């Protein structure tokens, strides 16, 4: 019996939520990912344990030629690696998948193909252009003209709608050919970066589109839609009510802490790039020297601290009953939720979800008879040790180490200058500042005053601070900033 060694995967057009469940499952299995430049970072990072190799495939800037990509697939597979070839859109539509299949077949390497949602469908859909319609489009054809002689030799299909991929740089020649066979008032749309926050759209006709494009200067990746369906966009712009549809945010959180914030922003139309700067390594022996029966207060500052503590209990071969003399304080709803997942309800939560809030809450309660235990990270500061001024014994234990991931430079290369950065703690600010010198050029959203102070210390002047230290507070400040009109959209360049 032979197992699959290579997966040829369609990653969809851009929006990372358009990837299939089967592709997600395969990416969890692979050792090596060969990915195209246009694949969304969130999809590449699904291959959590894989070596990641960018093989280019950006128009005008191919970093790796197709024969070399074929050789890489074969080479890694022969080493016994499970390999993913991650392509934008669908691998079988102008994706040169046939050449890769032939290379694998010739070497006897078993492979699977996982289809993706092609940009020929999804980009017009996101732009509000239905490529078929009962009244005006009974047929649609996908066309490409990537080489100079394609324009002279191509026989345009006699379809109601044409979707032309990878052809923008040859627009004048294409339009001249189309004008020979279609009326000059035929509607045309150009869509740049379809499904992304950076989407730009120009609409016109065969007669006007070249001049409009000369003014707008849209760039690849882009596709061209030709046909009466383009005129339907005026009544089919289904994303216009989403206020964050032209905003891209970058968040710096571990995978298990990303979903609520990503989902919340995505519901308002945002594109969210998730880059985890934290490689969390548990310290299973963290509770070994601690007499749990002597603890009178357990203070949890994060959900990671909760997980580390219960991992320590398991390693110590005991459970929460060992802390029978302790009351429990938790900072913030996420920390509370992590405790309740273990069947524990906190006794106390400070009104202000910060270290200062904890200190203000406990200072009037603690005495010399108390012993406070704080499970936290290797990067946590010593602010809570100020509780010792009450006479209480305060012990901070490192429940987990927080390291930079090995592929951090790959992640940082994905950041764009126009991105808004979201920081949920001061530690992520420090880590990014150590690796990314352009931090001060970005607008930042901070979860609270401590994170804001660290951002300012790192030279970031444009900071929006959440009114409450929660995911909802962060989303609210992003929406308020957009509704205030301080970040112009301007992505629908020209209409005709």
Q: How far apart are the first and last CA of the chain?
A: 59
Catalytic option among 57, 200, 334, 336: 57
430 counts as catalytic: no
Tokens of 459: 């030279």
Rounded (5°) CA angle 16-194-413: 60
Evaluate the CA torsion angle 411, 417, 423, 429 in order and state its sign.
Answer: positive
Contact 368/290 with Cβ under 8 angstroms? no
Concatenated DSSP letters of 91-117 = TTSSS-HHHHHHHHHHTT--EEEE---
Tokens 């066979």 found at:
181
Say whether 227 sits in a helix, a strand or coil: coil
CA dihedral 381, 435, 262, 264 (to 10 degrees): 60
Concatenated DSSP letters of 254-321 = -GGGTHHHHHHHHTTT-EEEE----EEEE-TTTTTT--GGG-SEEEE-SHHHHHHHHHHHHHTT--GG
For residue 18, count other CB atoms closer than 10 A to its CB. 19
Return all residues near 366 (Cβ < 8 A) that are at least 6 apart.
297, 372, 387, 390, 391, 392
Contact 76/32 with Cβ under 8 angstroms? yes
57 counts as catalytic: yes
Backbone angles phi, psi at 353, to 5 degrees: -85, 65
Rounded CA separation 360/411 (Å): 39
Catalytic option among 15, 36, 160, 370: 36
Contact 366/297 with Cβ under 8 angstroms? yes
Catalytic option among 45, 164, 165, 166: 166
Say whether 229 sits in a helix, a strand or coil: helix
166 counts as catalytic: yes
Backbone angles phi, psi at 308, to 5 degrees: -65, -40
Question: Which runs of E-coded beta strand occur in 55-181?
Answer: 83-87, 111-114, 140-144, 161-165
Query: Which amino acids are annotated catalytic?
Result: 36, 57, 166
């Amino acid at each position: 019996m032979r197992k699959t060694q290579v997966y040829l995967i369609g990653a969809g057009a851009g929006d990372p939520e358009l990837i299939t469940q089967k592709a997600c499952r395969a990416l969890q299995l692979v050792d090596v990912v060969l990915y195209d430049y246009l694949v969304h970072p969130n999809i590449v990072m699904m291959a959590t344990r894989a070596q990641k190799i960018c093989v280019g495939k950006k128009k005008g800037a191919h970093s790796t030629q197709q024969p070399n990509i074929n050789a890489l697939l074969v080479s890694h597979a022969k080493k016994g690696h499970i390999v993913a070839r991650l392509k934008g859109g669908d691998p079988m539509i102008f994706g040169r998948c046939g050449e890769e299949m032939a290379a694998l077949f010739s070497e006897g390497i078993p492979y699977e193909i996982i289809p993706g949602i092609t940009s020929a469908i999804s980009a017009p859909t996101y732009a509000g252009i239905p490529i078929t319609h009962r009244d005006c489009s009974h047929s649609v054809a996908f066309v490409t003209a990537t080489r100079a002689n394609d324009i002279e030799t191509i026989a345009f299909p006699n379809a109601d709608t044409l979707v032309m991929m990878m052809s923008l740089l040859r627009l004048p020649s294409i339009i001249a050919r189309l004008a020979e066979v279609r009326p000059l008032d035929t509607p045309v749309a150009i869509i740049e970066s379809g499904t992304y926050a950076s989407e730009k759209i120009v609409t016109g006709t065969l007669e006007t589109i070249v001049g409009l494009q000369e003014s707008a200067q849209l760039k690849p990746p882009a596709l061209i839609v030709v046909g009466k369906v383009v005129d339907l966009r005026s009544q089919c712009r289904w994303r216009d009510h989403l206020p964050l549809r032209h905003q891209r945010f970058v968040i710096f959180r571990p995978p298990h802490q990303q979903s609520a914030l990503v989902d919340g922003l995505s519901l308002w139309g945002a594109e969210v790039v998730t880059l985890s700067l934290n490689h969390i390594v548990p310290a299973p022996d963290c509770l070994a020297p601690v007499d749990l029966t002597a603890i009178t207060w357990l203070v949890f500052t994060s959900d990671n601290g909760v997980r580390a503590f219960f991992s320590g209990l398991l390693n110590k071969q005991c459970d929460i009953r060992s802390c029978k003399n302790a009351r429990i304080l938790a900072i913030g709803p996420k920390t509370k939720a992590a405790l309740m997942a273990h069947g524990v309800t906190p006794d106390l939560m400070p009104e202000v979800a910060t270290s200062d809030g904890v200190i203000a809450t406990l200072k009037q309660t603690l005495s010399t008879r108390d012993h406070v235990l704080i499970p936290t990270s290797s990067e946590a500061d010593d602010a809570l040790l100020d509780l010792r001024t009450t006479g209480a014994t305060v012990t901070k234990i490192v429940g987990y180490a927080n390291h930079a991931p090995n592929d951090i430079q790959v992640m940082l290369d994905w950041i764009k200058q126009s991105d808004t950065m979201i920081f949920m703690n001061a530690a992520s600010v420090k880590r990014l500042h150590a690796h990314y010198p352009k931090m001060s050029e970005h607008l930042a959203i901070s979860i609270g005053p401590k994170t804001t102070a660290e951002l300012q210390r790192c030279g970031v002047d444009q900071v929006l601070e959440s009114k409450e230290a929660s995911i909802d507070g962060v989303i609210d400040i992003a929406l308020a900033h957009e509704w205030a009109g301080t970040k112009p959209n301007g992505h629908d360049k020209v209409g005709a």
